[in-house]
Amino acid sequence: MSNINRRTLVKGSLAAAIAGTSLSRAAFADTADPILLGVSGPLTGPNAQYGTQWKQGFDLALDDILAGGGINGRKLAYQFEDSQSDPRQSVAIAQKFVSDPKIVLELGDFSSPASMAASPIYQRGGLVQFGFTNSHPDFTKGGDFMWSTSVSQADEQPLLAAYAVKKLGLKKLAVLHLNTDWGRTSRDYFNNAAKEYGAEIAITEGYIAEERDFRSTLVRVRDANPDGLVLISYYSDGALIARQARQVGLKQVICAASSVYSPKFIELGGDAVEDVHVGTRYFPEDPRPEVQKFIAGFKKKYNGLEPDAFNAYAYDAMNMAAAVVKIGGTDRKAIRDAFTKVKDVPSVIFGTATFDVASRRVKGAMNAELVVRKGQFALWDGKPT
């Protein structure tokens, strides 16, 4: 063999050895790297507090998942992109996530309008959009890559109407709602159910999320002379409306959607939210082990901070994502199909969670009828406010 051939052979052998080492390292890195989820949600803007609460719930769940061995030995992680819950931003984020092969599943956005604007991109790109706070009935109709653990407003609002009309005996109602697609859809489902139960809708008023002075609206409500006010709001605007309602002399019973349920509602509303009635999917006094484990872990991780429903929604969503990825691996279509296979996943909100394949939503939900008493949420005892 010539020296040239020997040199060529040696070089070839070294190159092969180096290539083999590089491939081994690359394969190891691929196995060792976290499985990455994308999150589209608000970290700035009027809904920024919900993004913060999501991260708290996500991070607690990731601690539990890692303590349990991760996803077949790999960590689970997320990349959070700030959408401000703005449809224009959620669309841009969807394009970014779909084009990034490292993202195996997406969670969010916070509001149904922001999520639904991005749904066509996720559907075309074949990436699951897991909208765990998307209660708009049409969200999961966007395609077979749309899944949700949020109770549809088609189910939620009739429960609130039953609480207001059948349980509290309110017969003439004023309905104040966020003037968004979510708020208007919720209003329609509530109003229709309340009428079926025999109530009259005396006045309906919409407001924008940034609104801070509700006095002129509340004067019109006062002039309509209802016997109850219904708030289809989030906790910050709901608390402000309650304060201003009392200031203009409205002393009627207030009944609010589950979206106001948070310790912040009481903190922001003070005495004005005393005796406000709320239907909710999450209540910390629920004795179920899943609830108590979540609360104890949350308080330990966050220095005694009390968790609220949005922390619980995020915690459940991350645990559901882990259960799905354990079945589907990192292939996007296999992950979509895994949503049909997960069964009885332990959950704070749902007890044990299983999807209804036809609606692509989780079956059933816990339901508690609460009232604010002495500055705390309590189970309503059936006694008049």
Mean pLDDT of the chain: 90
Q: What whole-number distance in Å separates Cα of residue 45 and Cα of residue 148?
A: 24
Please indicate, yes or no, if residue 358 is contained in any of the structural domains. Answer: no
Q: What is the CATH number of the domain that holds 296?
A: 3.40.50.2300
Its pTM surpasses 0.85:
no
Which residues on neighbouring strands pair with residue 148, listed in sequence order? 361
Tell me, yes or no, whether 362 lies in a domain. no
Longest Cα–Cα distance of the chain, Å, equals: 105
Residues 137 and 97 placed together within one structural domain of the fold? yes
- The 10s digit of each residue's pLDDT in 237-284 is 999 999 999 999 999 999 999 999 988 999 999 999 999 999 888 888
* Confidence band of 366 (pLDDT split at 50, 70, 90): low
* CA 270 – CA 258 distance, rounded (Å): 18
Question: Residue 18 pLDDT more than 80?
Answer: no
**164 & 272 share domain:** yes
Contact 338, 328 (CB under 8 A): yes
Q: pLDDT band for position 14 (50/70/90)?
A: very low
- Assigned domain for 134 exists: yes
Residue 15 has pLDDT above 60, yes or no: no
Does any domain span residue 176? yes
Same domain, 60 and 197: no
If asked whether residues 62 and 39 sit together in one domain, one would say yes
Residue 173 lies in a domain: yes
Each residue's pLDDT tens digit, 215-233:
999 999 999 999 999 999 9
**pLDDT band at 76; cut points 50, 70, 90:** very high
Using an 8 Å Cβ cutoff, are 230 and 160 in contact?
A: yes
209 pLDDT higher than 80: yes
| Helix, strand, coil percentages in the chain from 3-state DSSP, rounded to 5 | 50, 20, 30
Percent of the chain with pLDDT over 70: 91
Residues 254, 349 within the same domain: no
pLDDT score, position 155: 87
pLDDT for residue 172 is more than 90: yes
**Bridge partners, residue 41, by sequence:** 82
The arithmetic mean of pLDDT across residues 102-115, rounded, is 96
| Measured distance between the N- and C-terminal CA atoms of the chain, rounded to whole angstroms | 100
Q: Which of 89, 2, 3, 1 is CA-nearest to residue 39? A: 89
253: left (phi over 0), alpha (psi -120 to 50) or beta: beta
Question: Is residue 218 situated within a structural domain?
Answer: yes
Mean local confidence (pLDDT), 302-321? 96
**What would you report as the CA-atom Rg of the chain, rounded to the nearest whole angstrom?**
25
Looking at residue 12, its pLDDT comes to 42
User: Residue holding tokens 């207001």?
Assistant: 164
How many Å apart are CA 133 and CA 182, to the nearest integer?
11
Same domain, 227 and 141: no
Q: 373 in helix, strand or coil? A: strand
375 with 343, same domain: the answer is no
**Judgement on whether residues 311 and 162 belong to the same structural domain of the protein:** no
| 227 and 315 housed in the same domain | no
Residue position matching structure tokens 């910390």: 284
Residue 27 pLDDT: 34
**Can you give the pLDDT at residue 365?**
64
The domain in which residue 314 lies consists of 34-151+287-353
Q: Are residues 207 and 114 in the same domain?
A: no
Reply yes or no: is the peptide bond before residue 86 cis, omega within 30 of 0: no
Domain total in the chain: 2
Domain shared by 332 and 192, yes or no: no
In a domain, 97, yes or no: yes
pLDDT of residue 382: 86
For residue 71, the cross-strand partners are 74
Q: Specify the higher pLDDT residue, 21 or 198.
A: 198
Report, as an integer, the average pLDDT of 358-374.
Answer: 87
Q: Are residues 176 and 93 in the same domain?
A: no
Torsion of CA 212, 218, 219, 224, to 10 degrees: 160
Per-residue pLDDT of 113-169, as tens digits, reads: 999 999 999 999 999 999 999 999 999 999 999 999 998 889 889 999 999 999 999
Q: Which of the pair, 384 or 120, is modelled with greater confidence?
A: 120
